[in-house]
Amino acid sequence: MRSVSIFGATGSVGKNTVSIIQGNAAAFDVHAVTGATNIKDLAEIAIALNADIAVTSEKERFAELETRLKGTGIAAAAGRDALLSAAADPVDWAISAVVGYAGLALSLEIAKNGNTLALANKESLVCGGALLQETCKQSGATLLPVDSEHSAIFQALNGEKLEQVERIILTASGGPFLHYTREEMAGVTPKQAANHPNWSMGLRISIDSASMFNKAMEVIETKELFNIPSDKIEVVIHPQSIVHSMIGFNDGSIMAHMGTTDMRFAIGYALYWPERMDTGVERLDFTKLLELDFKQADAGRFPAIAIAHDVMRQGGLAGAVFNAAKEQCLDLFLDQRIGFLDMADLVHKTVGALDSFGNCDADSLDKISKADKWSREFVLKLSKKSNKYV
Ligand code: NAD
Ligand code: MG
């Protein structure tokens, strides 16, 4: 039996993880499951998996969680410190599937244990890639990707030499606005932006996919995870999302990972690695697969990728500043205080102003947190200063 913990168990990736574990319950001993505001789901998951402890990040929701777990023998805890303490509990395998910057501190805590960290929280690598890699190195932890593109690349790299990789090609669906003009994109609502054509995901990553900020994050994630130069990372639009990503080698060969659009591919691979197990994903039927299209991403309508390259050129705290600006802009967009295209404009300006804060190596959580805070405040100041954004 392997001991496992699920951070962000009530989310989209978390629930997929829960369902895989439930499908093979005898193989796993579940320690911690965590969530935020959805206490009913958190308690149900904890009971279904017979976890040792359920933790909510929301301190004021403790009583509700405790009541729902009464008589089950499952411990309840709440607040950020309780989450960090659960992450410090050693288990064989833990998944970091919390959304946003809050995931970094948890990923670092899990990594300190020296076991396996399955990483869905891409913000961890974007904000603190070097720090997380160093933490894994120190503890001997194994870092396995759970983002579908990065799992695809990881699988295609199996048995290959990194120095023989010519390029990594990340596929992007193009999101719901692939065929919109810039003028049309300017007026879209959060509801329209959240409507991803292929993947069923959490609200924030779905809107990030529509703006291609998600792909921009993934470009940085690729650099940090595989230690590959940024000029070797390409993005190609592939509306069907069947090819999950590709590697081009120095002999011109391309290795592609293909499958249906189901996160259980990536989660299952990280859970059972180095073995493979059937998690029940639908099989590709080549008699029904009509076409696979690929086209260039339009930099004019999707400036996020170019911003990612600026971030990688700047290095240091730029990733943290980029992520925080993007998260702040998403909140403003969700509140309908800025338009869809204003997000890229504000993030671009904030990343461009990093020198006024002072860039340096992102080698401690403290430095990264200060940069995160500065960036969010900078976006708010910018958005208030100009009438354009209100
Ligand atoms: P989600 O919004 O569906 O779920 C997020 C989870 O995090 C929930 O359990 C929520 O309770 C918890 N959470 C939210 N705020 C928190 C906080 N401040 N502290 C602690 N916990 C908090 O998100 P998701 O779509 O499952 O994505 C999770 C992560 O995985 C993100 O980093 C995302 O970019 C990445 N990812 C998701 C997918 C996908 O298919 N959904 C694919 C690839 C990568
Ligand atoms: Mg992805």
The stretch 164-189 carries a mean pLDDT of 96
DSSP 301: T
Which H or E element spans position 246?
strand 243-249
User: Do 2-145 and 151-385 share a fold?
Assistant: no
169, pLDDT greater than 80: yes
Query: Can you give 97-120 as a three-state secondary structure string?
Result: CCCCCHHHHHHHHHHCCCCEEEEC
Domain ranges of the chain: 2-145, 151-385
pLDDT digits 0-9 by tens, 243-274: 999 999 999 999 999 999 999 999 999 999 99
Q: Is 199 in the pocket of ligand 1 (CB under 6 A)?
A: yes
179, pLDDT greater than 90: yes
Question: How far is the centre of ligand 2, averaged over its atoms, from the C-alpha of 130 (Å)?
Answer: 20
Q: Which residues are paired to 258 by β-bridges?
A: 243
14, pLDDT greater than 90: yes
Strands 243-249 and 165-172 turn out to be antiparallel
Q: Is 262 in the pocket of ligand 1 (CB under 6 A)?
A: no
The stretch 98-105 carries a mean pLDDT of 98
The stretch 19-38 carries a mean pLDDT of 98
293, pLDDT greater than 70: yes
Structure tokens at 291: 């076409």
Asked whether the beta carbons of 333 and 207 are under 8 A apart, the reply is yes
The stretch 288-294 carries a mean pLDDT of 88
Question: How far is the centre of ligand 2, averaged over its atoms, from the C-alpha of 148 (Å)?
Answer: 5
The stretch 190-194 carries a mean pLDDT of 96
DSSP 321: H
* CATH class label, 151-385: mainly alpha
User: pLDDT over 70 for what percent of the chain?
Assistant: 99
Q: In angstroms, rounded to a whole number, what is the distance separating the alpha carbons of residues 352 and 313?
A: 12
Residue 8's CB is within 10 A of a number of other CB atoms, namely 27
The stretch 183-194 carries a mean pLDDT of 96
Asked whether the beta carbons of 332 and 381 are under 8 A apart, the reply is no
Structure tokens at 246: 């590709």
Q: pLDDT category, 387, cuts 50, 70, 90?
A: low
User: Would you state the pLDDT for residue 54?
Assistant: 98
Q: Is 217 in the pocket of ligand 1 (CB under 6 A)?
A: no
Give the burial class of 127: count Cβ atoms within 10 A of its Cβ; 0-12 exposed, 13-18 middle, 19 or more buried.
buried
- Which residue lies with its CA nearest to atom 20 of ligand 1? 57
Q: Is 330 in the pocket of ligand 1 (CB under 6 A)?
A: no
User: Would you state the pLDDT for residue 335?
Assistant: 96
Q: In angstroms, rounded to a whole number, what is the distance separating the alpha carbons of residues 201 and 136?
A: 28
Which residues, in sequence order, are CB contacts of 370 under 8 Å at separation 6+?
A: none
Phi, psi dihedrals of residue 363, rounded to the nearest 5°: -105, 10
Pocket test for ligand 1, best of 12, 196, 224 (most atoms within 8 A of CB): 12
Q: pLDDT category, 15, cuts 50, 70, 90?
A: very high
CA pseudo-torsion sign 180, 298, 265, 139: negative
Question: How far is the centre of ligand 2, averaged over its atoms, from the C-alpha of 98 (Å)?
Answer: 14
pLDDT digits 0-9 by tens, 40-79: 999 999 999 999 999 999 999 999 999 999 999 999 999 9
Asked whether the beta carbons of 18 and 45 are under 8 A apart, the reply is yes
Q: pLDDT category, 390, cuts 50, 70, 90?
A: low
Which H or E element spans position 35?
strand 28-35
User: Would you state the pLDDT for residue 389?
Assistant: 66
* CATH class label, 2-145: alpha beta
Q: In angstroms, rounded to a whole number, what is the distance separating the alpha carbons of residues 47 and 54?
A: 9
Q: Which residues are paired to 54 by β-bridges?
A: 33, 76
User: Would you state the pLDDT for residue 135?
Assistant: 98
Q: pLDDT category, 197, cuts 50, 70, 90?
A: confident
Q: Is 120 in the pocket of ligand 1 (CB under 6 A)?
A: yes
Q: In angstroms, rounded to a whole number, what is the distance separating the alpha carbons of residues 334 and 387?
A: 18
pLDDT digits 0-9 by tens, 353-378: 999 999 999 999 999 999 999 999 99
User: Would you state the pLDDT for residue 200?
Assistant: 84
User: Would you state the pLDDT for residue 385?
Assistant: 80
- In the three-class reduction of DSSP (H, G, I as helix; E, B as strand; rest coil), residue 5 is classed as strand
- Which residue lies with its CA nearest to atom 7 of ligand 1? 98
Please name the residue that has the structure tokens 């011109």.
252
Question: How far is the centre of ligand 1, averaged over its atoms, from the C-alpha of 13 (Å)?
Answer: 7
User: Would you state the pLDDT for residue 324?
Assistant: 98
Question: How far is the centre of ligand 1, averaged over its atoms, from the C-alpha of 330 (Å)?
Answer: 15
User: Would you state the pLDDT for residue 388?
Assistant: 67
Rg over CA atoms, the chain: 20
Question: How far is the centre of ligand 1, averaged over its atoms, from the C-alpha of 186 (Å)?
Answer: 27
